[in-house]
């Protein structure tokens, strides 16, 4: 690419869970973000028979695939290692073995080329995706819902995130995965539950909507999960309709909880950020769910808010978001030292009291 030498080109590497990913991100001639390549290798098949991500298997799979995935990302972007500006890599939170593989590879590349290293918080990658895709400015409200996290944050600026809510027990993606497991729908559970729910009756079971009406923005999903387990147990052996109805009723309860918490977060945002644009961003694997997107979209229309929902391939784990967060940090002059150690826990908001879902990613099943 002719203009490449003058533009910042960032390689991103993501290995924090069960996707081995590499991407190259830059800005175009009008300074708009551009994804030049984004390669994602999912390890789903390697973990399927265990019903969840097995950390040791994940780390080994990253090790054997990462070099090839990086080469492919560079190839597709039409650039060579020496043309890059910096190397961004997920430094945490995540499974420590996978993080080590990514970090060691990134450090090796940085050391051998002399390129700067930028260690990115995986959650910040999700949080900044809307700036990559829609070029929005700070502040904005962020719902981050993935396999390890369920949080509402106010994104005030780069590296400046205020956590308003978190889960006090299970993460939302985990609740989807466990529901699928209880109903023997397969792994990963989220898309399976979504698919089954399409055929189900969401009014058949009146599942609990934990913490609804309480004076908190926090989430809890363990009671809902227990209700699913008890119902499945009572109905056993389940016929396909039973499973579909359970999924639809589960999803309906989740939708009601999200809308309740978001509505009250919008109230708070409107009070604290009177002049700001009313933008809400949804991110993380669960943000791929069409039913939940629909519920949040309706809420946004009622309240005259803009919903920024990334394309499905940018909701789940990917390296484009890591490369983009790296580019933002590079432009801000934030580089990492070569002695950066992987962090299994790394909350986005270091000042907020630690709840279970505050910055931890673990086995998804
Ligand atoms: O962000 P992500 O790819 O990885 C983590 O950072 O955890 O999120 C994965 C989670 C899994 O729990 C998966 O079941 C859930 O996102 N997920 C979904 C859907 N697609 C993925 N949950 C509900 N509906 C979906 N369509
Ligand atoms: Zn993620």
Which atom of ligand 1 is least distant from the CA of 19? 3
Q: Is the pLDDT of residue 356 over 70?
A: no
User: Average pLDDT of 97-119?
Assistant: 97
User: Are residues 31 and 114 both part of a single domain?
Assistant: yes
Distance of CA 333 from the midpoint of ligand 1 (Å):
32
Q: Taking ligand 2, which is a single-atom ion, which protein residues have CB atoms under 5 Å away? A: 146, 317
Element (H, E) at 36: strand 33-42
Residue 345 located in a structural domain: no
- Kindly state the average pLDDT of the residues 250-254: 98
Contact 142, 196 (CB under 8 A): no
**Number of domains composing the chain:** 2
Per-residue pLDDT at 130:
95
Contact residues for 99 (Cβ-Cβ < 8 A; gap 6+): 15, 16, 90, 91, 92, 342, 343, 344
Give the residue numbers spanning the domain of 42: 10-131+314-331
Per-residue DSSP letter, 319: S
Q: Are residues 90 and 234 in the same domain?
A: no
Q: Are residues 293 and 203 in the same domain?
A: yes
Higher model confidence: residue 361 or residue 6?
Answer: 6
Claim to verify: residue 17 and residue 150 sit in the same structural domain: no
**The pLDDT of residue 354:** 66
Quick: pLDDT tens for 67-81.
999 999 999 999 999
CA distance 101 to 242: 43
Indicate if 63 and 118 belong to the same structural domain.
yes
Q: Are residues 118 and 183 in the same domain?
A: no
- Indicate if the pLDDT at residue 4 is higher than 60: no
Helix (H, G, I), strand (E, B) or coil at 251: helix
Residues with CB under 6 A from ligand 1: 17, 146-148, 173, 176-177, 188-191, 194, 284-286, 288-289, 316-317, 361, 364
pLDDT in tens, 254-305: 999 999 999 999 999 999 988 899 999 999 999 999 999 999 999 999 999 9
Flag whether 338 is in a domain.
Answer: no
Q: Which of 42, 95, 122, 285 to mutate to test the pocket of ligand 1 (most atoms within 8 A of CB)?
A: 285
Q: How many CB atoms lie within 10 A of CB 166?
A: 25
Residues 187 and 155 in one domain: yes
Taking the CA of 146 as reference, the closest ligand is: 1
The model's pTM is: 0.91
In a domain, 263, yes or no: yes
For residues 79 and 119, membership in a common domain is answered with yes
Asked if 145 and 281 sit in the same domain, the reply is: yes
pLDDT of residue 282: 96
Task: Assess if residue 2 is contained within a domain.
Answer: no
Same domain, 66 and 78: yes
Whether 56 and 163 map to the same domain: the answer is no
The verdict on residue 38 lying in a domain is yes
Closest CA to 135 of 306, 363, 359, 319: 306
CATH number at residue 195: 3.30.420.40
Domain membership flag for residue 305: yes
Same domain, 198 and 181: yes
Dihedral in degrees, nearest 10, Cα atoms 46, 47, 49, 55: 120
């Amino acid at each position: 690419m002719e203009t490449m030498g003058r533009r910042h080109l960032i390689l991103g590497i993501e290995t924090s869970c069960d996707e081995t990913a590499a991407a190259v991100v830059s800005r175009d001639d009008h300074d708009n973000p551009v994804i030049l390549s984004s390669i994602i290798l999912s390890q789903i098949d390697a973990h399927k028979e265990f019903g969840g991500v097995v950390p040791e298997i994940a780390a080994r799979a990253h090790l054997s695939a990462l070099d090839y995935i990086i080469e492919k990302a560079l190839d597709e972007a039409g650039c060579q290692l020496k043309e890059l500006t910096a190397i961004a890599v997920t430094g945490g939170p995540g499974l420590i073995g996978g993080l080590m593989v990514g970090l060691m590879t990134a450090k090796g590349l940085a050391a051998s080329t002399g390129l700067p290293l930028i260690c990115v918080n995986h959650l910040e990658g999700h949080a900044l995706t809307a700036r990559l895709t829609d070029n929005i400015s700070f502040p904005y409200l962020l719902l981050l819902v993935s396999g390890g996290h369920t949080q509402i944050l106010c994104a005030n600026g780069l590296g400046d995130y205020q956590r308003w809510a978190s889960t006090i027990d299970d993460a939302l993606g985990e609740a989807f995965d466990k529901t699928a497991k209880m109903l023997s729908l397969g792994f990963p559970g989220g898309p399976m539950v979504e698919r089954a729910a399409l055929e189900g009756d969401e009014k058949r079971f009146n599942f609990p909507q934990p913490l609804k009406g309480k004076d908190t923005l926090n989430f809890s999903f363990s009671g809902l999960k227990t209700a699913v387990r008890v119902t499945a147990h009572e109905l056993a052996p389940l016929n396909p309709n039973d499973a579909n109805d359970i999924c639809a009723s589960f999803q309906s309860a989740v939708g009601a909880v999200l809308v309740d918490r978001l509505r009250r977060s919008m109230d708070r945002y409107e009070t604290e950020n009177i002049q700001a644009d009313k933008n809400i961003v949804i991110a993380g694997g669960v943000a791929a769910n069409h039913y939940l997107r629909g519920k949040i979209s309706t809420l946004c229309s009622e309240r005259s808010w803009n919903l920024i929902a990334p394309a499905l391939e940018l909701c789940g784990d990917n390296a484009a978001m890591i490369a983009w967060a790296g580019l933002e940090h590079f432009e801000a002059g934030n580089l990492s030292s070569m002695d950066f150690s992987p962090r299994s826990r790394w909350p986005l908001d270091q000042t907020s009291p630690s709840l279970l879902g505050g910055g931890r990613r673990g086995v998804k099943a």
